[in-house]
């Protein structure tokens, strides 16, 4: 086991404290050591890949480059988990979509020079004995302990609680079991609800649970009152990897679906509050452009990253050009 | 321990007490702070009182903002007790009502002559009615409100209001009323009927079918009037109406003591709309400030504008945001002397009142 050196640790701390990119962390991230395995799990829907997913792919690469070469990041593409909810229609289409989606993500990695990240279908991951054992342990614990079940309730829609109880909170147990196989998880802030349970279970079945939550992914809106009348979206953002999250697929950029004209319009007409700590979809786009620039030039400089994001936010025209350039490559 | 002079510490303590008071009242009453409203609302859609911190909390104002954003109409109800003359505390409210009306609000102003009487603020019921019609409404008509979208309702002349109040009486019980208002505010049957039914009817009347049916209504209030809104929200749900939204304004401080209200019953604590310039100068000259007495210490430590009754006038009435911010910074840094502030503020208030007398706002 090899601890990360002081300089790297400083860079990592700087990255984790960049509020335009990272919302919060769980556990002592600086204590990671040796070969570090990082997980980002995503499901999907029929609407395609939202640009917000790219923020996570780029972040994983950026994180790996910040820490050094002993980092392997994996995207677990939740084919089975995308159809686990009984209310999901077009299950066959979505199951097959997983394979097509992993291929698309592979191409995105290629053009964006993402070298430290791999993508794997969850159905294949769950065929691995080590992972299945951990998932089984987690499921058993959740089924035995009402306190854990109660903690998982906020992760479930109210009308689905009975159904989830009946299934032993299968979705959550599998997500937690999978995450516990890794040293570190990256995800959207809403996943903190799962992770409270993962942290408790982690102490019993694995090592300390660690997670990084990126700043929420926000939809574009011309309406200044949108975030005030949608407090949950304001707090947690949209699910980055589900393009149709909250049925707002028309208010976000979906790769290969949203036209360039529409992207220009979304960016130009978006209402954003003056203080960038509040919900602001331009920050998401700017952080993607800024990370992409440094990854391509192989010049990781966390301090410059924040400065570049702030500059890009101020110049929507430039931001639009940069985002369209990025998208033209990945489509 | 810090080395601040005792007098400066006292001013800081006043600031803290005022901040804590509104925070505690908001939490206790389930109100929401203004931070997010101010963060997301474009400055041009923030009434001056709001962007200057004179609105301290809200409940359901997001719904009103959604209508403003879509350029759709909404209703504002703001009652006025016509027991005596108007003062500047009222003008802060009227200024905000005017701005909200310009954003799409249809304004209902119930003049609560019944309340004046049942609370013993006037000797005869007709005194309140006469005050409302002869003194208050003529002043309000000069405020610049859109006449087509402003309704002045003298309570005792509103048959529809009392009929509706009687209807609502079955949705409220005495235990609720006593809990909300306290027995000391319900000492005679008139107070019980007014607080339990009439005020509710004033708030919900714009939602009657003949007035356009259920719609979003905004009620700007002082924190002491919050129980009325809670009751109205509860009853609105029971009768199939939209629970009203609320903006809570901080009380306008007495010129003599920032922790007390500007009050009609203490003439030196208040500026009245018909005060002469020399009276305005005299009252402001004697007013309480957030600066320490020693010039040397003021320059060294600065002042506390939040504890200053004079600076509050600048916050409320100076139309120039840049100048107010500049005065604030100079005050805090100790560069602004109280003589200059009082002189500027006297001129500001004389000008404001003159504009009012000329029929503008």
Strands B245-249 and B55-59 turn out to be antiparallel
Tens of pLDDT along A43-99?
Answer: 888 888 999 999 999 999 999 999 886 899 999 998 776 666 666 667 677 777 788
Residues A129-143, mean pLDDT to the nearest whole number = 86
Mean pLDDT of A233-244: 92
pLDDT at A258: 96
Greater confidence (B3 vs A276) lies with A276
**Interface probe with B: pick from A228, A271, A273, most Cβ of B within 10 Å:** A228
SS3 at position A113: coil
Q: Which tens digit of pLDDT belongs to each residue from B108-153?
A: 999 999 999 999 999 999 999 999 999 899 989 988 899 999 999 9
Chain A hits for B245, Cβ within 8 Å? none
Name chain A contacts of B62, Cβ cutoff 8 Å: 225, 228-229
- Provide long-range contacts, Cβ within 8 A and 24+ apart, for B260-267: B261/B89, B262/B87, B262/B88, B262/B89, B264/B83, B264/B84, B264/B85, B264/B87
Residue B290, Cα to own-chain centre: how many angstroms? 22
Instruction: Please identify which residue in the block is written with the tokens 């066959």.
Output: A92
Closest in B39, B45, B62 to A229, CB measured: B62
Can you give the pLDDT at residue A1?
35
CB of B41 within 8 Å of any CB in chain A? yes
Q: pLDDT band for position B2 (50/70/90)?
A: low
A278 vs B contacts (CB less than 8 Å): 36, 39-40
Best mutation target among A218, A225, A233 (most B Cβ atoms within 10 Å) is A225
Q: Left, alpha or beta for B136 (phi > 0: left; psi -120 to 50: alpha)?
A: alpha
Give the global pTM. 0.88
- Say whether the ipTM exceeds 0.90: no
B115 touches B70 (CB < 8 A): no
> CB of B40 within 8 Å of any CB in chain A?
yes
The nearest alpha carbon in chain A to B44 belongs to A224
Contact A225 B66 (CB under 8 A): yes
Q: Which residues of A touch B63 (CB under 8 A)?
A: 229
Binary contact (A223, B66; C-beta < 8 A): yes
> How many beta-carbon pairs under 8 angstroms link A with B?
39
The distance from CA B341 to its chain's CA centroid, rounded to whole angstroms, is 24
Q: Which of B37, B42, B70 sits opposite A228 (nearest CB)?
A: B37
**Tokens at residue B221, please?**
């209030």
């Amino acid at each position: 086991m090899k601890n990360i050196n002081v300089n790297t640790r400083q860079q990592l701390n700087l990255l984790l404290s960049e509020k335009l990119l990272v919302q919060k962390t769980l556990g002592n991230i600086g204590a990671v050591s040796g070969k570090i395995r990082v997980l980002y799990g995503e499901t999907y829907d029929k609407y395609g890949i939202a640009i917000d997913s790219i923020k996570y792919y780029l972040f994983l690469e950026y994180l790996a480059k910040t820490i050094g070469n002993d980092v392997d990041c994996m995207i677990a593409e939740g084919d089975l988990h995308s159809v686990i909810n009984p209310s999901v229609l077009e299950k066959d289409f979505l199951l097959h979509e997983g394979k097509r989606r992993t291929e698309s993500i592979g191409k995105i990695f290629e053009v964006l020079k993402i070298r430290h990240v791999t993508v794997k279908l969850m159905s294949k991951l769950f065929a691995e004995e080590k992972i299945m054992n951990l998932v089984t342990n987690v499921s058993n614990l959740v089924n035995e302990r009402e306190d854990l079940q109660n903690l998982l309730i906020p992760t479930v829609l109210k009308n689905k609680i009975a159904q989830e109880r009946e299934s032993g909170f299968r979705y959550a147990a599998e997500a937690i079991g999978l995450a516990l196989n890794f040293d570190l998880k990256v995800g959207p802030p809403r996943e903190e609800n799962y992770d409270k349970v993962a942290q408790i279970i982690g102490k019993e079945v694995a090592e300390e649970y660690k997670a990084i939550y990126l700043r929420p992914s926000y939809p574009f809106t011309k309406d200044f009152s949108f975030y005030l009348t949608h407090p949950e979206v304001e707090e947690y953002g949209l699910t980055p990897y589900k393009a149709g999250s909250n049925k707002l697929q028309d208010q976000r950029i979906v790769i290969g679906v949203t036209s360039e004209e529409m992207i220009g319009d979304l960016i130009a007409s978006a209402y954003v509050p003056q203080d960038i700590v509040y919900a602001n979809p331009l920050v998401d786009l700017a952080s993607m452009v800024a990370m992409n620039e440094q990854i391509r030039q192989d010049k990781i400089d966390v301090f410059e990253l924040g400065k570049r994001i702030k500059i890009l936010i101020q110049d929507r025209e430039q931001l639009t050009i940069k985002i369209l350039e990025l998208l033209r490559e990945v489509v | 321990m810090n080395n601040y002079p005792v007098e400066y510490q006292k001013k800081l303590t006043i600031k803290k007490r005022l901040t804590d008071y509104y925070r505690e009242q908001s939490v206790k009453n389930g109100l929401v702070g203004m931070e997010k409203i101010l963060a997301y609302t474009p400055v041009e859609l923030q009434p001056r009182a709001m962007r200057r911190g004179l609105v301290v909390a809200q409940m359901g104002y997001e719904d009103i903002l959604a209508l403003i954003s879509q350029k759709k109409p909404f209703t504002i109800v703001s009652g006025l007790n016509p027991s005596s003359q108007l003062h500047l505390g009222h003008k802060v409210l009227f200024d905000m009502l005017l701005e909200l009306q310009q954003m799409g609000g249809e304004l209902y102003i119930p003049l609560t002559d019944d309340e004046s009487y049942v609370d013993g603020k006037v000797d005869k019921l007709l005194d309140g009615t006469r005050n409302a019609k002869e003194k208050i409404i003529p002043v309000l008509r000069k405020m610049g409100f859109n006449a087509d979208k402003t309704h002045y309702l003298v309570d005792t002349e509103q048959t529809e209001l009392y009929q509706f109040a009687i209807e609502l009486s079955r949705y409220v019980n005495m235990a609720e009323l006593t809990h909300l208002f306290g027995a000391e505010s319900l000492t005679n049957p008139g107070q019980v009927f007014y607080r339990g039914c009439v005020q509710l009817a004033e708030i919900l009347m714009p939602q009657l079918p003949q007035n356009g049916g259920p719609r979003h209504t905004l009620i700007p209030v002082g924190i002491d009037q919050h129980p009325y809104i809670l009751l109205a929200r509860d009853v609105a749900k029971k009768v199939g109406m939209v629970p009203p939204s609320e903006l809570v304004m901080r009380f306008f401080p007495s010129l003599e003591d920032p922790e007390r209200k500007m009050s009609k019953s203490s003439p030196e604590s208040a500026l009245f709309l018909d005060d002469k310039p020399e009276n305005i100068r005299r009252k402001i000259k004697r007013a309480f400030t957030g600066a320490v007495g020693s010039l040397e210490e003021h320059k060294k430590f600065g002042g506390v504008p939040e504890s200053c009754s004079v600076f509050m006038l600048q916050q409320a009435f100076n139309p120039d945001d840049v100048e107010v911010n500049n005065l604030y910074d100079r005050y805090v840094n100790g560069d602004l002397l109280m003589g200059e502030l009082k002189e500027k503020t006297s001129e500001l208030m004389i000008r404001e009142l003159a504009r009012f007398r000329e029929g503008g706002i």
